[in-house]
Amino acid sequence: MNNKITLGCLMLAAALLLAVPASGMTDSLEDVSNPDAKCLKCHSKNLKKKLEDGERMSLKVMASDFEESVHSVIGCTGCHRDVGKSKHPSKKPISNRRDYSIAQNETCGQCHAAKAKAYEGSIHASLSGSGDAGAPLCSDCHKTHAVQSMAVYEPVTGEPCKACHEGIYDAYSQSVHGLARSNGNVIRESHIQAPICADCHSAHDIDAVAAIDHLQTTCLDCHEGASLAHEQWLPNAGMHMESVSCAACHSPVAERRIDLQLYDNLGQVPVGKNENHAAIRERLDEIDTGGDGLGPVELWKLVRLTSKDGKATDVTLRGRMEVTRGVDAHRLAPRSEAVRSCDNCHQGRLAGSMRRAGHASSCWTACWCLP
Amino acid sequence: MTTLYAMNDHFEPDRQEKVYLHPLPVRIWHWLNALGFLLLILTGFQLRYVDLFSLMSFETAVKLHNWVGFAVIANWFLWFFYYVTSDRVTNYHPDLDAASFFRRYFSQISYYSSGIFTGAERPHKVQPHDKFNAMQKLTYQFVMFITAPVTFFTGLMMWDVKRFEGLIELAGGIRVVNTIHVMMFILFVFFIIIHAYMGVLGKKASSHYKEMFTGYEEPHD
């Protein structure tokens, strides 16, 4: 009898022990849909797939992350459409993690077409296209399975940009914008929504800063009275606003330089921004035979030849004062600390170096070069 | 009776009455113009060679150049409206007989290149309504109707590049506008040096300078 009781207790204990993991899994999956629960039944375990490059890629999905993500409503097959009973698990080889991510991220565009198109023109996409393994894809900013709504990125945490641009974020957080943001959005005793990364750089069509004018336009979108305010004291205010980046004066600690840019006057865009510029690229390749960049004479030759082509393009060379290091563009100071003295650019080292480089130090020839 | 001199090397030793050659508006315009151009040259040099010398800050140089530039433009209109409303406009009237004009022009050149050294008679007899010799007439008309307006227009364009963007493009770009402005500046510098030198060729070195303050020809003795 005692033996039977003992055996019964052992069987009950064994049943309970075996039941624990099963009931635990059921608890974590109870909020996901039935088909997703089927997926997670395997993918909540430490599954791994061996890639062609030898890496063992984890296939584990944290059920809780997925439950809380905005994508839980579309389910696993909303993105993994190629998964079917008959062909899963797939035997198709995966070369490496990066290629797999790129292929999977193309799925995002099926629902988020506008965002995907915006991303395609961005510096991030450009870097990714040129083979930069560190260039962010959709899932690098939005996570793979823990996809959250836009509101999550709003607070001043620096996520997701900070993950790659930590130095820049630190500079921002000490800037007039960052401090205002962390102090309850109060600037000069007014309640103003201070900008976070995406407000200036936009979220998806992020561009190389040196190649665009829209950052300045973005500043003026909020600082509506800035043009008028500059006209009150700054000689040639319109030209300064066009040929000097805001940060060159409003980041007083920054070192400055003159960037020269080929500009398409007909398209009103920097060269390289539309398909008409293929001819200019050809000219560039003709002139820069060594691929070691253009000297002053070669640069003028390029401008002269492309202007001579004259059919689809009208190219000029535009100078623009920028901060030397990108991080300095984020150290924006309160207005009272902005550079206001002409001597910062028109006297001393910068003016001298421009003269030695063959430019007259006067503003109109150094900063606003036109052929 | 005091013997009087006419201005600009053309005194008439036998003229008896005191002649009023330079009315007050002309003298005001002349000296404001002189002061204005000296300041423009000085500030212009400072703007252009900011890293070579530091007579004043760049900001002061820009502001002074702009303000004085506008003052000189306004002053040009003082000159223009005075003469178009005055009978003394005859001083600038062009000579419609080209052959006669160039004959007098070359005789003036001949005088300055040789006659002046041998005590020859001056070819032009100065009168209140005909005070400029042929060389002066041509030079002053060129300066006042070509050099000055071109300098004003190009300066105005560079004063606000964005505002005059269209005109600048029409002219061939900011470099062209800037080059023209500098070329006009060079002409003005030459003009001022020669003008100041010719000013000392009166009876006494100070004679013509005094005339430009008093308005009257300086007495001969």
pTM given for the model = 0.70
Please provide the size of chain B in residues.
Answer: 221
Reported as a single tens digit per residue, the pLDDT across B107-126 is: 999 999 998 888 888 888 88
Is residue B104 included in any domain, yes or no?
yes
pLDDT classification of B149: cutoffs 50, 70, 90: very high
Question: What secondary structure does DSSP assign to B90-130, as a single string?
Answer: GGG---S-HHHHHHHHHHHHHIIIIIHHHTPPPS---BTTB
Average pLDDT over residues B62-71: 96
A343 found inside a domain: yes
Band of pLDDT at residue A355, cut at 50, 70 and 90:
low
Structural domain includes residue A325: yes
Answer whether residue B44 is part of any domain. no
Domain-embedded: residue A219: no
The minimal CB distance from B160 to the residues A236, A346, A347 is found for: A236
What pLDDT score does A301 carry? 79
Radius of gyration for the alpha carbons in chain A, expressed in angstroms and rounded: 29
Residue of higher predicted confidence among B214 and A358: B214
Q: CA-nearest residue of chain B to A344? A: B58
DSSP at B179: H
Residue B38 lies in a domain: no
Q: What is the mean pLDDT of residues A53-65?
A: 88
Nearest to B30 by CA among B99, B131, B155: B131
- Determine the distance in angstroms separating the CA of B149 from the nearest CA of chain A, rounded to an integer: 21
Q: Which pLDDT score, from 0 to 100, does residue B70 have? A: 97
ipTM of this complex > 0.85?
no
Give the domain-ending residue among A118, A148, A178.
Answer: A148
Q: How far apart are CA B40 and CA B148, in angstroms?
A: 13
Question: What domain range includes position A85?
Answer: 29-148
pLDDT for A261 beyond 90:
no
Q: Which residue of B has its CA nearest to A366?
A: B175
Question: Is residue A292 in some structural domain?
Answer: yes
Provide φ and ψ at A148, rounded to 5°. Answer: -115, 165
Cβ–Cβ of A343/B58 closer than 8 Å? yes
Nearest to B178 by CA among B154, B150, B152, B153: B154
Residue A83 has a pLDDT of 78
Q: Does any domain span residue B207?
A: yes
Per-residue pLDDT at A22: 41
Asked, for residue B99, whether it belongs to a domain, the answer is: yes
> How many structural domains does chain B have?
1
Tell me which residues of chain A have a C-beta less than 8 Å from any C-beta of chain B: 235-239, 241-242, 316, 341-343, 346-348, 351-352, 355, 360-362, 364-365, 368-371
- Best residue of B59, B64, B182 to probe chain A, by most A CBs closer than 10 Å: B59
Chain A contact present for B161, CB below 8 A = yes
pLDDT (0 to 100) of residue A133 = 87
Give the one of B62, B159, B174 whose C-beta lies nearest to A370's C-beta: B174
- The residues with which A318 forms a beta bridge, in sequence order, are A261
Total of domains in chain A: 2
- Predicted pLDDT of residue B189: 94
Query: Residue A371 domain-assigned?
Result: no
B35 shares contact with chain A (CB less than 8 Å): no
Q: Cβ contacts (< 8 Å) between B175 and chain A: which residues?
A: 365, 369-371
**Neighbour tally for A244: CB within 10 Å:** 23
Does residue B67 lie within any of the structural domains? Answer: no
Domain boundary, last residue among A148, A178, A197:
A148
Residue A324 confidence (pLDDT): 87
CA dist., res. B171 & res. B154, Å (int): 10
For residue B130, give its domain range. 86-214
Look at residue A33 in the predicted model and tell me its pLDDT: 64
- A144 and A254 in a common domain: no
> Pick from A120, A148, A176: which residue ends a domain?
A148
Point out the least confidently predicted range of B70-79, B98-107, B124-133, B145-154.
Answer: B124-133
Give the distance from residue A345's alpha carbon to the nearest chain B alpha carbon, in angstroms: 10
* Residue A199 to residue B179: CA distance in whole angstroms: 43
Between chain A and chain B, how many beta carbons pairs sit less than 8 Å apart?
Answer: 66
Work out the average pLDDT over B34-52: 91
Chain A CB within 8 Å of residue B38 CB: no
Per-residue pLDDT tens over the stretch A26-49: 445 555 667 788 888 888 888 888
